[in-house]
């Protein structure tokens, strides 16, 4: 949501990452089984509560292993997956609505993340002194020089990224020519979001941004709110910049042997989780969200001379309702809100990055809250029916894939998905689903199936 040149800490590495990311095969056609009216589906599926757990009700096994092969050997889907099913005896259905951040949330979050430190306006290229901009220029030139002699990068990619470096350096030089010799900065007195009069974030956004000391380093905070987006982000300056990679990604790119590294973070994963939980407790939401995914992080890639050890963790939280967790997925909807039937409001996401500095990053996007109960308990399809639907529809979904590839499904998860009520842009329902988690786009759902009626749910559109 942030445009280049507005916030100082748009790390150059992040600007360039898109040019180095490899593309994976993408299905040309998304097949969505025709869905009935969601309200009617819920009403027709209401059931009395029993003492049987979900696993027994749907007659699911602990593990499934099978193969779905497309004609012509273009695509091979190998399922070797544990079934992750919560130990609960009923599955209700809820209305769920937006819960936008307000000005009082700024005060609360800043107190938790910065303590008693005074906060100042976030540095931008427009309000930096000449000396500060010269320091930024020196960093950019050093990174450009280092990149130029990197033999690991293909010549054609090197040329494209060099052009971006040059453009970035020219931009800094323009700011330097107009910058004052010194700048006097006053602490922030009013913690309120303001209108984005310069259109820095696009659309109708209101925002608040600040920076301040956290121990020996500097922390950065921003909160934004508009018609199609609401979110907040905090991060600390660090030596790695944004050049972190997860264990999952390292294993995918460099292999399991390369990913088998020690973690040198001073916190164990249990201690890191305690740090996250303390923030949740201070926010008063510790009973609403639970850990859904934990990964280790390293600086750079081992194959490119990066760190030989992990230096911390990424810990993701998801909403937990009656013991069932909203399924975490790396794919967060369509990028185009103008596209017909596209996702009007991103899925809720919350995650922490923990290093030796403690909470080095915290992100919370698209906050939601539960509304009324639409059904106390619903009837679920047996798992064997869900698996048949998966086999049939995943083959159709990827029928037009042109590159031969193998997709591994390593987890089958029962959880929640926030579903947009069709033709009602701002109304949502929390629906039970089955997700087949694959390695196609990182850790993402290959197919999401409504556990009530077996309809296929499309995460790009939210229904």
pLDDT digits (tens, 9 = 90+) for 135-188: 989 988 888 887 777 666 677 777 888 888 899 999 999 999 999 999 998 999
Buried/exposed 176-193: b ≥16 CB within 10 Å, e otherwise? beebeeeeeeeebeebeb
Q: Are 353 and 361 in contact (CB under 8 A)?
A: yes
Q: How buried is residue 145: exposed, middle or buried, by Cβ count under 10 Å (0-12/13-18/19+)? A: exposed
pLDDT tens, residue by residue, 317-344: 999 999 999 998 765 544 443 443 456 7
Q: Are 328 and 294 in contact (CB under 8 A)?
A: no
**pLDDT at 242 (0 to 100):** 62
pTM for the model? 0.82
Percent of the chain's residues with pLDDT above 70: 87
Boundary of a domain, candidates 336, 366, 396: 366
Percent of the chain's residues with pLDDT above 90: 57
Q: Quick check: is 1 in a domain?
A: yes
* Nearest partner of 339 among 448, 461, 229, 205, judged by Cα: 461
- How many distinct structural domains can be found in the chain? 3
Q: Quick check: is 153 in a domain?
A: yes
The sign of the dihedral angle between the CA atoms of 143, 149, 150, 153 is positive
pLDDT at residue 209 tops 80? yes
**pLDDT at 386 (0 to 100):** 97
Specify whether 17 is located in the same domain as 146.
yes
Boundary of a domain, candidates 161, 182, 203: 182
Specify whether 16 is located in the same domain as 159.
yes
Specify whether 222 is located in the same domain as 344.
yes
pLDDT at residue 108 tops 70? yes
Specify whether 118 is located in the same domain as 79.
no
Long-range contacts, stretch 61-68, CB < 8 angstroms, 24+ apart: 61/383, 64/387, 64/412, 66/387, 66/391, 68/390, 68/391, 68/394, 68/395
Boundary of a domain, candidates 347, 366, 385: 366
Specify whether 71 is located in the same domain as 191.
no
CATH at residue 407: 2.40.128
Specify whether 249 is located in the same domain as 350.
yes
pLDDT tens, residue by residue, 251-270: 888 888 889 999 999 999 99
pLDDT tens, residue by residue, 236-249: 998 656 678 999 88
Specify whether 206 is located in the same domain as 229.
yes
Specify whether 121 is located in the same domain as 163.
no
**pLDDT at 427 (0 to 100):** 83
Specify whether 143 is located in the same domain as 153.
yes
Specify whether 242 is located in the same domain as 223.
yes
Q: Which domain holds residue 104?
A: 100-127+183-366
Mean pLDDT, residues 63-76: 87
Question: How far from the centroid of its chain's Cα atoms is residue 84's Cα?
Answer: 21
Specify whether 222 is located in the same domain as 115.
yes
Specify whether 191 is located in the same domain as 226.
yes
Mean pLDDT, residues 30-49: 67
* Lowest-confidence segment of 34-48, 152-166, 195-209, 257-271 by average pLDDT: 34-48
Higher local confidence (pLDDT), 443 or 178 = 178
Number of H helices, E strands in the chain: 10, 19
pLDDT band at 306 (very low <50, low <70, confident <90, very high): confident
**pLDDT at 301 (0 to 100):** 87
């Amino acid at each position: 949501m942030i445009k280049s040149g507005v916030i100082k800490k748009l790390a150059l590495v992040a600007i360039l990452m898109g040019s180095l990311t490899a593309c994976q095969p993408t299905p040309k056609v998304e097949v969505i089984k025709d869905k009935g009216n969601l309200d009617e589906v819920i009403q027709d599926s209401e059931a009395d509560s029993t003492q049987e757990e979900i696993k027994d009700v749907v007659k699911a096994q602990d593990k499934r292993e099978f193969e779905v092969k497309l004609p012509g050997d273009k695509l091979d889907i190998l399922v070797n997956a544990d079934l992750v099913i919560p130990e609960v005896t009923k599955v209700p259905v809820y209305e769920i609505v937006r819960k936008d951040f307000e000005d009082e949330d700024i005060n609360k979050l800043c107190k938790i993340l910065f303590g008693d430190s005074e906060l100042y306006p976030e540095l931008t290229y427009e309000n930096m002194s000449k000396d500060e901009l010269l320091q930024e220029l020196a960093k950019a030139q050093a990174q450009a020089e280092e990149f130029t002699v990197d033999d690991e990068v293909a010549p054609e990619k090197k040329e494209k990224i060099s052009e971006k470096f040059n453009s970035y350096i020219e931009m800094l030089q323009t700011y330097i020519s107009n910058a004052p010799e010194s700048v006097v900065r006053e602490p922030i007195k009013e913690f309120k979001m303001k209108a984005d009069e310069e259109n820095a974030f696009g659309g109708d956004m209101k925002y608040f941004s600040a920076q301040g000391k956290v121990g020996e380093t500097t922390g950065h905070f921003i909160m934004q709110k508009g018609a199609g987006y609401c979110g907040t982000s905090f991060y600390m300056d660090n030596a790695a910049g944004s050049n972190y990679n997860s264990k999952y990604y390292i294993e995918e790119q460099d292999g399991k042997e390369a990913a088998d590294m020690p973690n040198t973070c001073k916190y164990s994963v249990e201690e890191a989780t305690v740090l996250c939980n303390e923030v949740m407790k201070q926010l008063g939401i510790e009973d609403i969200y639970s850990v859904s995914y934990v990964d280790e992080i390293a600086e750079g890639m081992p194959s490119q001379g990066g760190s030989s050890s992990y230096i911390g963790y990424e810990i993701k939280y998801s909403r937990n309702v009656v013991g069932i967790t909203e399924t975490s997925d790396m794919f967060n909807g369509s990028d185009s809100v103008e596209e017909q039937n596209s996702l009007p409001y991103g899925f809720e996401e919350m995650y922490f990055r923990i290093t030796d500095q403690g909470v080095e990053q915290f992100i919370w996007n698209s906050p939601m809250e539960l509304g009324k109960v639409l059904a106390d308990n619903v009837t679920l399809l047996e798992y064997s029916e869900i698996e048949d639907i998966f086999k049939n529809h995943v083959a159709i979904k990827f029928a037009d894939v042109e590159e031969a590839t193998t997709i591994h499904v390593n987890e089958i998860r029962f959880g929640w998905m926030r579903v947009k009520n069709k033709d009602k842009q701002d109304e949502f329902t929390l629906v039970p689903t089955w997700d087949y988690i694959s390695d196609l786009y990182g850790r993402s759902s290959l197919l999401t199936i409504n556990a009530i009626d077996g309809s296929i749910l499309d995460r790009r559109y939210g229904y």
